[in-house]
Amino acid sequence: MPSKKSLPVEATAPVRARAERSVLLRTPEQVRLAWDIPGLVAGVDEAGRGPLAGPVVAAAVILDDLNPIDGLADSKVLTAARREKLYDEIRAKALCCSVASASVEEIDQLNILQATMLAMRRAVEGLRLKPVKVLVDGNRLPPLDVLAEAIVKGDALVKAISAASILAKVHRDRLCHGLHREYPHYGFAQHKGYGTAEHLAALQAHGACAHHRRSFAPVAQAFAIRPMATPMAALSDLPLRVPDELEPVLQVQVLQVQTPARRVRRPAARA
């Protein structure tokens, strides 16, 4: 059997063509790695670039080859229940993992792309073990002090990126449930901040809240129509104001009644 060096040009042409085509399809941001570098590899992905509210979240994961996890896939094709189960398994079995975010304020100040890169960098820097290379989902790379490659649809192709996509998605969904408790009229628990018809209608009805991204057009329009909405918890603590002219006349006492989140002021009987 001839050696690889003795193969005719015609025999290696298809392989060379595929390699050249792969390089041509790469974006300028993608870096070609020396794949024979030994060491730990981290997968990185984000969740929450498109929503109108809430932070953008990124995760970095270094998997343990000796402790494999079955069923890893792009978080978008998994059910919520399956993601929750895998989230716990990833946290238990991975060599290390890190979840980070960029706030709504950072999104509005930097723009969503740069805020996403910031969250990714924070996630990688949060790993307790330093990888020798990082594989990032998509076609852009955050500034890192380690070799990195951007892989389009990497969340479906690379297990470590799949794991990162699951951690980021579940973490952000849990944050949105917290926002729902604070602002229930927006429905954050259902749409997770995305611009659904329900969410857009709530923006029109209630205006935007502190967790909405003002740099996104639908939110900017809502701010122009109504001032910032107040959290439900804060509304329940607002006292009913007594007109100044009645203060010298009335002795006001606050009575706690059964109606939740409301206070009633009644004048005390005159002596």
Residues belonging to the binding site for a divalent metal cation are 45-46, 137
Q: At 251, phi and psi to the nearest 5? A: -100, 115
Nearest to 215 by CA among 74, 140, 103: 103
Residues flagged as binding site: 45-46, 137
Residue 266 makes CB contacts below 8 A (sequence gap 6+) with 252, 253, 255
Rg (CA), the chain: 26
List helix spans (H) across the chain. Answer: 9-25, 80-93, 104-110, 112-125, 154-157, 159-182, 188-191, 197-206, 217-225, 232-236
The amino acid occupying position 124 is V
264-267 vs 96-102, strand pairing mode: unpaired
**Which structure tokens are listed for 76?**
């978008």
